[in-house]
Structure 1
Amino acid sequence: MRLPALPLLLSLLPACTLLHRTPSPPPPPKPVYHIDSSLAAALKPSAASIEIDLTRQEMRLLNAEKQPVVTTQISTGRNTTPTPAGHFSVLEKLPTKFSNRYGKYVKKDTREVVVWRIWEHKGPQPPGTEYEGYEMPHWLRLTWPGVGIHQGEFKPGELSSKGCIRTPAEPQKVIWEHSHIGTPVHIHGTSTPHPDAP
């Protein structure tokens, strides 16, 4: 008996594998934002202000006429660690901050991650490791205890942080560039007023 030609067998394989392949889940939606380039080019940091709506999970960079220069979806604190509401001002501006509270344990020699979330870790620090704080690009501090605005990943509509305001990379870069120490920030919505807010 003659065996089927190899090309014929290979041509049947994709059809067979398709019958048993489970579809991959769709990628999560990306945060939506808008940057008005002409308003951004004309905006001086001294005229900028920031408005954060906790209910809508939205942040806006405003000019002196209260026109939105940047509008972006954000993700704020979970119910157990809510983002404070009130009137604040930028206390610190850094290109990148490394958290001294939220980080991981990595091996000193290879930088291999041993514990991803140290705040959930039980017991002592694993031997041969050191702490490495999570990176928070384009950091704007709002409270000395640690609440700030920074670039971070999140799924739109989900509260994901320990109190900070997470934003997509591109709009946060524009907001950071147009902010300065003292930029006013108004946070409003469903959270209770924070004691650090005047």
Structure 2
Amino acid sequence: MARKLTRRRVSERCWMFLFIALAAACSPASPVIPSMFATEPSPAADPAVALLKPAAAPVAAAAPPAPVITYGAPDKGFPVNTVLSLDQPIEAGDYAWNGEGAPEGPTTIVVDLAVQRLYVYRAGVEIGRSSLIYGADEKPTPTGTFPILQKNADHVSNIYDGAPMPYMLRLTWDGVAIHGSEVDEEYATHGCVGIPEPFAEILFSEAELGDRVMVTHGWMTDIYGSGA
């Protein structure tokens, strides 16, 4: 049964409700505290390129970005914007190749005699790297910039008793070329650049007549160091 409130009780309840409303209005809102541990997901690391032995399977890996720098002489240099990341240093007979994702463009080959490495770039992206042997003593490999003058997959030397020079890329008309060879630290050439034959076959299919080959001592040492 409903009962009638006296005026005094109605007044007391009104003051009570008013006090509660004022207290709620004056209470500061709970601050929002940002988490100190909130992080964005880290980008996935590019896998390293595996080294290949002469009978190994093709590489499937990506290359990490590097600064865009023009290397070489001012009138003969070219921009390098990506280099291969290898899972271990290259030793005699090793090579790596990964042209996946590289843009179309001119191919440039660099031979570093100081560290016995050959580097292949397409449009400034490194797509191949190999160990090598070269000419020493009385038959040194010449340095400079050379165009590829001739290609012959089954070439044999007409100077050195028909010695095989598979996947030959001629640099000079007096016998200097890049070609497939057994690569061992104890071996040297008569001035040519010898690279592992499986790598030479890949390079032969990539390179075109007129592509530049730079032969030097000490290439991109700030990036590659003493050889990788």
Q: TM-score range by the shorter chain?
A: 0.5 to 0.7
Equivalent in 75, 83, 88 of residue 146 of structure 2? 88
Query: Which residue identity lines up with residue 216 of structure 2 in the other structure?
Result: H
Extract unaligned runs of 5+ from structure 2: 1-90, 219-228
Asked if the contact 2:148–2:211 (Cα under 8 Å) also holds between the matched residues in 1, the reply is yes
Matches within 5 A, 1:131-146: 133-146=162-175
1:58 is aligned to 117
Secondary structure at the aligned position of 2:93 is classed as: coil
CA deviation vs aligned residue, 1:22-80 (integer Å, no higher than 9, x gap):
xxxxxxx85111111415xx565x51110000001000111112x21110000000222
Shift of 1:138: 0.3
User: Are 1:73 and 2:128 an aligned pair?
Assistant: no
Aligned residue number for residue 178 of structure 1: 206
Greater Rg, structure 1 or structure 2? 2
Q: Distance in 1 between matches of 2:206 and 2:103?
A: 7
CA drift of 1:86 comes to: 0.3
Matched-pair contact (CA < 8 Å) for 2:92–2:131: no
User: For 1:101, what is the secondary structure of its paired residue?
Assistant: coil
**Cα distance between partner residues in 2 of 1:149 and 1:135:** 12
Higher relative CO (CA 8 A, sep ≥ 6), structure 1 or 2?
1
Secondary structure of 2:159's aligned partner: strand
Segments of 4+ moved more than 2 angstroms? none
Sort the Cα spacing of 1:64 and 1:37 in 2 relative to 1 into closer, same or farther, 3 A.
closer
Write out per-residue CA displacement over residues 90-121 of structure 1, whole angstroms, 9 at most, x where no aligned residue: 00011111111112xxxxxxxxxxxxxxxxxx
| Partner AA of 1:182 in structure 2 | G
How much identity, in percent, do the aligned residues show? 29
| Total equivalences in the alignment | 128
Taking structure 1 as the reference length, the TM-score comes to: 0.60
Structure 1 pair 43/97, CA: closer, same or farther in 2 (3 Å)?
A: farther
Normalised by the length of structure 2, the TM-score is 0.53
Q: Which runs of 5+ in 1 are unaligned?
A: 1-28, 104-132, 191-198
Q: Deviations over 1:158-197 (max 9, x none)?
A: 451000000101211111111111010000018xxxxxxx
